[in-house]
Amino acid sequence: MTAADGEGSGRLVWITGASSGIGAALAQAMAAAGWRVAASARGADALAGLAAAVPAIRPYPLDIADGAACEAAVARIEAELGPIDVAVLNAGTHLPMGAADFDAERFAALVEVNLLGTARSLAPVMRRMIARGRGRIAVVASVAGYSGLPTAAAYGATKAALVNMAEALRPELAAAGVTLQLVSPGFVRTPLTDRNPFPMPFLMPVDVAARRLLRGLEGGRFEIVFPRRLAWALKLLRILPYRLYFPLVRMATGVGRQR
């Protein structure tokens, strides 16, 4: 994917959700490593500020909930900058939701952005990469997609669907010469996690997360995961029988204990 020294060497990456958090940090890290970066997000002002600070970053404002806009954005990027070598589909949002505040419309809003928005971003770039017989796509999910956790009834469901989608597409894309990777972040300090009212184990600075993601994009592993300690704990949790799973979740989160 890259030159022998691991740098971008002028290759083009498209990053969605690039106005803040992991997306913005990754855009800056990849630009510093020699990549040309097409950065998309709804926040046009934040994108403009990012591009003004880093000349290798070009802003392409986009609402991924609009399928026609996603098609147009990919077409414009490739017309102006050339073929996209790597796409990092990072855009998403989080609305905590449990049983007491469960709301179908808020659930649908998360599905619209996290799941359908990712699919709308994926379709035009995947089609072009298949036609060229090369490229790399990273779908950003979350360790919250591994198993059901309190307050993540909607968010976790969308991320679990992305995991399933990526697993399903990986073999076909590999046969077409396209690499598909799954990104599973744990707790990373971003504007989204700043909303969380609970302690977050193994909370990672966003610049460290961006470096881990970039290193993963330079390799061939299907899943890029960080921090590993949290991920492995949750992977172990999901394979336990439910008679062990639910007591451990109650113990870890304090949710569901009898008063």
Q: Does residue 195 surpass a pLDDT of 70? A: no
Q: Map out the domains of the chain as residue ranges.
A: 12-253
Alpha-carbon distance 218 to 221, whole Å? 9
Instruction: Encode pLDDT of 113-152 as tens digits.
Output: 999 999 999 999 999 999 999 999 999 999 889 988 888 8
Instruction: Encode pLDDT of 67-107 as tens digits.
Output: 999 999 999 999 999 999 999 999 999 888 888 889 999 99
What are the strands of the beta sheet with 12-16, ordered from one edge? 57-59, 36-40, 12-16, 86-89, 136-140, 179-185, 223-226
**Pair 1, 135: CB distance under 8 Å:** no
| Catalytic residue (choose from 60, 146, 155, 245) | 155
Q: Does residue 192 surpass a pLDDT of 80? A: no
**Pair 185, 140: CB distance under 8 Å:** yes
Joined together, the tokens standing for residue 120 give: 């709308």
CATH class of the domain defined by 12-253 = alpha beta
Is pLDDT larger for residue 192 or for residue 210? 210
Whether residue 155 lies in the annotated active site? yes
Query: What is the arithmetic mean of pLDDT over 47-73?
Result: 96
Query: What is the arithmetic mean of pLDDT over 226-252?
Result: 83
The structure's pTM equals 0.88
Confidence of residue 249 (pLDDT cuts 50, 70, 90): confident
Alpha-carbon distance 94 to 114, whole Å? 9
Instruction: Encode pLDDT of 167-188 as tens digits.
Output: 999 999 999 999 999 999 987 6
When computed from its CA atoms, the radius of gyration of the chain, rounded to whole angstroms, is: 18
